[in-house]
Amino acid sequence: MEGETSSGYVTTDGLDVYYEIHGGLPDSARPPFVLLPGGAMTIETAFADDLLPMLRRLRPVIAMEMQGHGHTGDRQGPITLEQMARDASAVLAHLEVGSAHFVGHSLGALVSFGVAISHPNQVASITAIGATYTFDDMLPELVKLQRDPSHEPSAELIPLLPTADEFAAWTDSFRRSAPEPDAFEEILGRLNVMLAQWPGWPRADIAALTAPVLLVIGDNDFVRIDRAAEAARLIPDAQLAVLPGTTHMSIVRRGAWLVPLIEARIVGG
């Protein structure tokens, strides 16, 4: 299942959205994976070294970079999760992919839920890594920091945040791929404003989801374990996994644990 690797752009609502296909074009009988990176990350920094090559051994992988991320440029006006979900849906429609198993980290998980709400037939399953369906399920201090950038992180929160090396890698990857290489800080600010104002996906829509859902968080993640458990109870037939010794940043490097969980969740898909 190694197959070929290709890339391209799909123009949707005036924006050229970048995607990669790993393992060749999927057939209609076996839905591919769709990989969506977390905020400020690219396909390269989120998945290239671990999860992507492991998943492509199982079935084809379509990886996307949403608005303002990596190769995909920005639009005028506010960034919204609703628009990101429409963009992801448009890429699948362009590629003539009927449905896919969505695997999203952080922001990418939020986008995955948005696609499942607006285009349920395109979503065969969701693996939400390091996120639920609302930003309010995050640690209280992280929510405060998101809504008040002047807040000084506590000694307890600092070890959970991106390190200087991780942040430098994100910046470098963005500059090597973005249409506007110097826009990283601006994009990051726009994303922070969006998340600070976003009310979350409606509970009624989340409770009505029909696709299988796997929530995966670390025991030292941004997401509160009790809130993740509540989300798993709200979503019909959802499963929750808590990975030991794992943070919001390191969870995307836990492919050896994630892939068997994902594979078990999509058996028969």
Domain ranges of the chain: 5-265
Amino acid at the residue 53 = P
pLDDT digit string (tens) for the chain, length 269 residues: 456 899 999 999 999 999 999 998 767 678 999 999 999 999 999 999 999 999 999 999 999 999 999 999 999 989 999 999 999 999 999 999 999 999 999 999 999 999 999 999 999 999 999 999 999 999 999 989 888 888 999 999 999 999 999 999 999 999 999 999 999 999 999 999 999 899 999 999 999 999 999 999 999 999 999 999 999 999 998 999 999 999 999 999 999 999 999 999 987 55
Helix or strand (DSSP H, E) at 86: helix 81-94
- Could you give the CA distance from residue 74 to residue 26 in angstroms, rounded to a whole number? 29
Give the fold, CATH level 3, of 5-265.
Answer: Rossmann fold (3.40.50)
Write down the residue that tokens 């076996």 correspond to. Answer: 30
Quick count: other Cβ atoms within 10 Å of Cβ 135?
Answer: 23
Angle at 250 between CA 245 and CA 146, to 5 degrees: 105
